[in-house]
């Protein structure tokens, strides 16, 4: 059993930065690959970034490459998403996801999801 709790969402202006955090709890949570998805109003949920359990491999959506960085933090079972040069099109609810394999996280086929945190970018 794994529980995911996101934090760090908010309202910022275009060009600003924001850092999201996802804390995973559970006896075996340290063995999980983790990732971030987002869903804007009227649109389907889309993959944003993912990272292996060890943190040696990362994947990003083309739309965020060079602007967003996902990383495993020193705090156990915590993953961050550093978002720089934010654009209005980044506005969405951001969800944390976890599973044993990065490929299933990237595909969005996971047993664990967080509750989501709202990110709003004004133009």
Q: pLDDT (tens digit, 9 = 90+) per residue, 55-112?
A: 999 999 999 999 999 999 877 789 999 999 999 999 999 999 999 999 999 999 999 9
Structure tokens at 121: 């970018």
Q: What is the mean pLDDT of residues 44-60?
A: 96
Q: What is the mean pLDDT of residues 8-34?
A: 91
pLDDT at 37: 98
Q: Which residues contact 2 (CB under 8 A, 6 or more apart)?
A: 24, 25, 26, 28, 29, 32, 98, 111, 112
Rg from Cα positions in the chain: 13
* Mean pLDDT, the chain, whole residue set: 94
Distance CA 47, CA 91 (A): 14
Length of the chain: 123
Residue for token digits 């760090």? 8
């Amino acid at each position: 059993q794994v529980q995911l709790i996101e934090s760090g969402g908010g309202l910022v202006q275009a060009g600003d930065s924001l850092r999201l955090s996802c804390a995973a709890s559970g006896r075996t949570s340290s063995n999980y690959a983790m990732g971030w998805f987002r869903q804007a109003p009227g649109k389907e949920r889309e993959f944003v970034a993912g990272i292996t359990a060890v943190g040696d491999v990362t994947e990003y959506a083309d739309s965020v490459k060079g602007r967003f960085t996902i990383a495993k933090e020193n705090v156990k079972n915590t993953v961050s998403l550093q978002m720089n040069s934010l654009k209005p099109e980044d506005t969405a609810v951001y969800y944390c996801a976890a599973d044993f394999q990065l490929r299933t996280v990237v595909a969005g086929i996971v047993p664990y999801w967080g509750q989501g945190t709202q990110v709003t970018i004004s133009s």
